[in-house]
Structure 1
Amino acid sequence: MKELNRYHPLTIVFDMWKTAKNSFFAIFYLYILNFSSDSTFIYYARIVFWIFIGITFITIFIKWYTNKYTVNETSFNLFHGIFKKTKQTIPFSKIQNVNRHTSLFHRLFNVTSIHFETGTAEDSSVKFSVIKRTAADQLEEYIAEKGEGTGSTISFEELDSNGRSDLDSRKTVHFQPGRKDIIKASFTSLSFLVLIPILGSIYSKINQVLDLEKRAEGYLSYLLDAWWMIVVLVLVFGCLSLLIGMAWTFLKYGKYEISSDGERIYIKKGVMETTEFSILKSRVQAVEVTQSFMKRLLGLAEVKLTSSGSFSGGEELEVNTLYPFLPLNRAYDLITELLPTYEVASHLYSLPKKSLGIRLLKPSWFWVMATGTLFYFHPVFFQMEMTWLILSILLLTLIVLGRILDYYHTGYLVKGRFIQFRKGGFTTTTFLSRRDKIIEVGVSSNLIQQFLGLATVTTVNRAKPVYHNTLTDVPVNFFTLFYSWYMEREKEVEHE
C-alpha cells in the first residue's frame, strides 16, 4: 500500500486561528461588554463557550490526524473519516481553476494556501489550507504538466526546489497597473469616501463616553462663523480622504498582474495579502465587459470571465474579474491577447425604432409602488408639501432616461462562430461568446412583440450557476438568423 501523507502541521494552528477570529464577537460580548456581570445567563454562556472551543480544537486535531492524501501521476487521492474511511479520487483532467491565497498568517510562517477546483460537484476539489510555497509551486506545475512523471506517489511537503521558475518562464505578462491606473481606480471605486464612515464611527463611540457635542458647542459656533476655517477644514479633509483612498486602492490593486501561457490565464493581486488565480483558457465559456456610469466617464471597463468551473474565495478576490478598471480599448485588446480564439467587434447592429416605443410604453411597477409609498407617507423636505410628487417625477424621469439609454446602447452581432450582445442604460454590459460554448438558446415573443415583429433571444452558458444572457426586442430577421446560426453548432461540437 502506498504511503499516505498528512497535511502540513500548521494546518492545526491555522484552523485554530480561524476559530478564534470567528469567536471574536462572542468573546467581546461575554468578557468585555459583560465584564463585571453577575448574570446567571452570562455565567453559563461562558461555560458553554469554552466547552464549544475545547470540542472544536479537539476536532481540528483529529481531522488533521485522520485526513490524508496521495498524489500519483494522474490524480489526487483524498482520505477522510475517523471511524468510517472514505476515499475520493480527483483526476487532474477535471481540475479547471487554481486559486492561491497568502494571508498575513501565511506570510508569518512562509507558507501559502492552494485550492484546485473542478467543474463538477462542490465537494470535488482539493484544498491545502497550509502548504510550503515551494511545494505549492511544484504541485501547480505538476498539474499544469498533466501529471507527466515516473508514476510514483509524490509527497509535495518534502519537495524543495527553485519554485515555479519553469512555470513563470512560460508566462507572458499582459497588464500591470501604473500610477495613473491606481489614481483612476481610486476615483472610480469612490475609495476616497472611506474616511467618512470611519470618522463617523469613531466620533459616535467617543461621543457616548465624553459627550463631545456639549464640549464642542462653543468651538463649533466659532468655526461656523469663520468661513476661511471651514474652507481649510474641507481642503484638509478632502486631501486626507484622497490619500487614504489611494493607499487603500494600492493595497488592493497595486500589484495586480494579468499574464498567460499557452493553456492558462493567471491573475495575481494584493500587497499585504496576495491572491493568485489561474483558469484554463479552454474552460472560458463567455466574456463580459461592464461599464458603470462613472467608468464610462473615465473610459474604463471591467472584464469578467465566465468559467465552467466554480469560483471560490469570492470574499478575498473577485477571481473571475481580470481587472475592474481597465481602459476600454485596452480591455478589448486584452481579450484577444488572452483568448486568441475570440474576436471582438467594434460595430454592432442597432435595434429598430419600434423597440424604443415598446420600451417607453412598458409599465414600470417599481415606479407605481414607489409613488404609492411616497403618497402614503407624504414626506416633506424644505417645507415643500408636494415633495412626494417631485420625487415621483424625478424617479419617472430617471426610469425613462434609463430606457432611452438602454435603447441606444443595445446592439447585437452574429459573425462566424461568435455572438456579441451589448445592452444597458446607465451601466452597459457587452457579452461575447462562441457558438460551441453556448449549450442552449431560446427565442420567445409576447403578443405585443409579435404584432411589432420583435422577439427576445436568450443564450445559456455552462457555469456555476448556469449563465443566462437575454436580449429583448430584437427584429424578426435577427432571431431567424440567430436560430439558424446556432443550428450550425452540431458541426463544431464533438459528441461523446
Structure 2
Amino acid sequence: MQSKRMHPLMIASSILRSIKDLFFLILILFVINIGSTSTWVVIGRYILIAIFILLIITAIVAWFRTSYEVKEKSIVIRQGAFVIKQRYLPFDRVQNVKTNTPFYFRFLNVTSLILETGSGGDDASFTFPALHLADAEKIESTIDRFRKTGHTTEQVEGQQAIAVTSQSENERNIEMEQKHSERRIHFSPTRKDVLKASILSASYIVLIPIMLSIFQQIDSVYDIDTYLEDGFQFISNSWMVLAIAITLIILASITFGVIQTFLKYGKYEIASDEERIYISQGVLSEKNFSIRKKNVQAIEMRQSILKRLLGLTSVKLISAGEMDLSGDPVNSLYPFLPTKRALSLVEELLPGFEITTKMERMPTSSLVARMLHIPWIWIIATGVILYFFPEWWWTSIVLLILNIVGRYLDYRFAKFTINGSFIQLQTGGWEITTLVTQRHKAIEFSVEENIIQRRLGLITVKTSNRGKPVYVKTLADIPASMANEAYYWYKQ
C-alpha cells in the first residue's frame, strides 16, 4: 500500500485545540477589553495573533508531513512538523483499538483511530489524528484478518481491491451491516437509566466550579466584585427573589447534569462477538473501544457507599493496552449497573471468567493489626490544625473518628478466595474494590510481612497484571495460611 496522508480535518482539529488552550486569553484581549487601547492589551493582541499564526502554520506543515503506510505485517507512521519521527507497529502488538469521533468529524465521516500496544513510553499507543471512516475500518479489519488467517497485508489488500471493484456502494453497505449484525448487544441504557445516572454521577455539581472559574478568570483582569456585591445585596434583600434565584440555580444545575449525562451515555452500548468486546458512548462526540477477549487481564469491580446502598456496581476491563481518551475511561462498563446485572454481564462478555460471591472474611487479628498501624496522616493533619488553626481543634477528633471507622470498614469488607484458576481480592472501606484475575494472567505474585504481622500470623499479598501503568492489587493482613495457599496456587 502506498503512503497516505491523514484527512485534512487534522489541521482543523489542531487549530481547535489551540483555540481551546488560548480561550481565556482570547476572551480577555478581544472580548472583555474589546475597546481598550492600553499598551499591555495591544501588545498582548499582537503576540497572541503571532502565536496563533505560528500554530496554524505548524498544523498545516504537520499534516503535510504526517503519513502512514500499511506494509506486509505492520504499519509505519511518519509524523512531525519540523522534526519527522518514524514509528513502526507490527500487527501482532496491537492489543486494543479505540476511535474518537468529535461532532465536527461526524459530518464528513472522519474519525481518530488509536491502536494500543502492551508497551510503555512512546510506543504505548499509535494515533491516527484524522482518518476517513473507510480507511479506519480498513486498518482495523486488516489487523483482524491478519490475526485470524495469517494472510499478509498485501494479500488482504488484493482481496479488498477485487471486492471494491466488483461491489457497488450499496453492496459494501450491506456487507458492513452483516458484519455488525454478528455482534450481540448486551446492554443499552433506557431513559430511566440515563436519568438515574445523571443523579448518581452528581454531574450537576460541575456547573458551580465552572462558573466560579469563569468569574475568577474575568475578575483577574476586570474588576467585577462591585457588580457581584450589588447583585448579592439585591437578591438577599427579598426572600422571594432569593428563593427564585436558588430555584433557578438548582434547575440550571440539574438541567446541566442531565444534558451532560445524556450526551455521554445517551447512545451507550456494550456489545460483543466471538473474539471482541465493543463499548461505544457519546451522542455528539462518539468514542468506541474494542478489545480482544483474550487480552482482558483482569476484571475490577467498584462500589462507593452510595452505590452500595443502591445495589449498583461499576466494572472495568483491565488490559495491557489500557488508555483513557480525554480523561474518560472508555474501557469501563456502564458505571451504574445493578450488581446482579453487572455479574451476569461479565459472564456474558467473558464466559471463561468465573466470579463467585462466596469469599472468606479476615479474622479478628486482622482488625487488631489495622488498628495498630500508626496514623501518620492524622498526626500530620493534627499538627497543622493545632499550629495554624487552634480554634478548629475539634476537627482533629472528627478526623480520628473517621480514621478509626475507615480502618474498621477496611477490615469488614476485606475478603479473599481462590476459585480454581481464579483469584479474587476485595479491599476498601469507603469504596470497595474487587479484583478477579486468572493465574496465568497475573505477571507477579508476592507476599511480605512486617513485625506486627509476624507476631499476629498475618501477611500482605500483592498481585500484578499488565496495564498502563501495571495494575497492582494489595490485600493486607490476611492469615498466613491463606497467603501460603495463594503462593503455592500461583506457582502451579
Which stretch of the first structure deviates more once superposed, 26-35 or 446-455? Answer: 26-35
Q: Does 1:191 align with 2:191?
A: no
Structure 1 residues 454-496: Cα deviation after superposition (integer angstroms, max 9, x where no partner): 11111111211111111111101111111110111xxxxxxxx
Shift of 1:325: 1.3
CA change 1:33–1:242 in 2 (3 A) is closer
For residue 261 of structure 2, what is the aligned residue in structure 1? 249
Once the two structures are TM-superposed, the CA of residue 256 in structure 1 deviates from its matched residue by 1.0
Is 1:174 matched up with 2:186?
yes
- Name the SS of the counterpart of 2:237 in structure 1: helix
AA aligned opposite 1:454: L
Distance 1:141 1:356, change over 3 A: same
Who is 1:137 aligned against?
A: 137
2:238 maps to 1:222: yes
Displacement of 1:25 in angstroms is 3.2
Which of 333, 353, 363 is the aligned partner of 1:322?
333
Equivalent pair of 2:410/2:427 in contact (CA under 8 Å): yes
- C-alpha displacement at 1:406, in angstroms? 1.1
Cα–Cα, structure 1 residues 189 and 89, in superposed 2: closer, same or farther, change >3 Å?
same
| 1:434 and 2:438 aligned | yes
Amino acid at match of 1:142: T
Conserved in 2, the CA contact under 8 Å of 1:71 and 1:153?
Answer: no
Cα deviation for residue 362 of structure 1 reads 1.8
SS of corresponding position for 1:286: strand
1:30-76 Cα deviation digits (max 9, x unpaired): 4445553443x655554444444333333332332233222245321
Which letter maps to 2:258?
M
Q: Choose which of 375, 382, 386 in structure 2 pairs with 1:364.
A: 375
> Paired residue for 2:396?
392
Q: Compared with structure 1, are the counterparts of its residues 307 and 77 closer, same or farther at alpha carbon in structure 2 (3 Å cutoff)?
A: same
Q: How far apart, CA to CA, are the structure 2 residues paired with 1:324 and 1:61?
A: 40
Asked whether the equivalents of residues 197 and 336 of structure 2 are also in contact (C-alpha less than 8 Å), the reply is yes
Per-residue deviation, 1:193: 2.9
2:429 aligns with 425
Aligned 1:233-272 pairs, distance under 5 A: 237-272=249-284
How far has the Cα of 1:341 moved from its partner?
1.4
The alignment status of 1:405 with 2:409, answered yes or no, reads yes
Distance 1:487 1:340 in 2: 25
**How far has the Cα of 1:268 moved from its partner?**
0.4
Q: Name which of structure 1's ranges 14-23 and 93-102 shifts more when overlaid on structure 2.
A: 14-23
- RMSD of aligned alpha carbons: 3.1
How many Å separate the matches in 2 of 1:239 and 1:38? 41
Q: Distance in 1 between matches of 2:210 and 2:21?
A: 22
Task: Give how far 1:95 is off.
Answer: 0.9
- Helix, strand or coil: the match of 1:250? helix
Change (3 A) 1:51 1:5: same
Please state if 1:96 is matched with 2:95.
yes
Paired residue type of 1:261: D
C-alpha distance 29-449 of structure 1, shift in aligned 2 (>3 A): same
Cα displacement (A) at 1:265: 1.2
Shift of 1:210: 6.7
- C-alpha distance after superposition, 1:229-251 (max 9, x if no partner): 76676566545543432222111
TM-score when normalising by structure 1? 0.86
Aligned twin of 1:120:
119
The 8 Å contact of residues 449 and 473 in structure 1, kept in 2 or not, is answered as yes
The correspondence for 1:474, drawn from 474, 478, 481, is 478
Aligned-partner SS, 1:412: strand
Distance 2:377 2:194 in 1: 37
1:358 Cα deviation after fit: 1.4
Deviation at 1:407, TM superposition (A): 0.8
- CA distance in 1 between counterparts of 2:96 and 2:7 reads 22
- When the two structures are aligned, how many residues end up with a matched partner? 473
1:352 match:
363
State the alpha-carbon separation in 1 of the partners of residues 2 and 480 from structure 2: 65
Alpha-carbon spacing, 1:49–1:198, altered in 2? closer, same or farther (3 Å): closer
Q: Residue 146 of structure 2 aligns with which residue?
A: 146
- Paired AA for residue 4 in structure 2: N
Q: Which moved more, 1:138-147 or 1:352-361?
A: 138-147
Contact 2:65 2:84 survives alignment (8 Å): no
Counterpart of 2:359 in structure 1: which amino acid? Answer: L
Kindly tell me: are residues 423 and 142 of structure 1, through their superposed partners in 2, closer, same or farther at Cα, counting changes over 3 Å? same
Displacement, 1:450? 0.8
Give 3-state SS (helix, strand or coil) of 2:368's partner: helix
- When the two structures are superposed, what TM-score results if normalisation uses the length of structure 2? 0.86
Question: Hey, what does 1:383 align to over in structure 2?
Answer: none
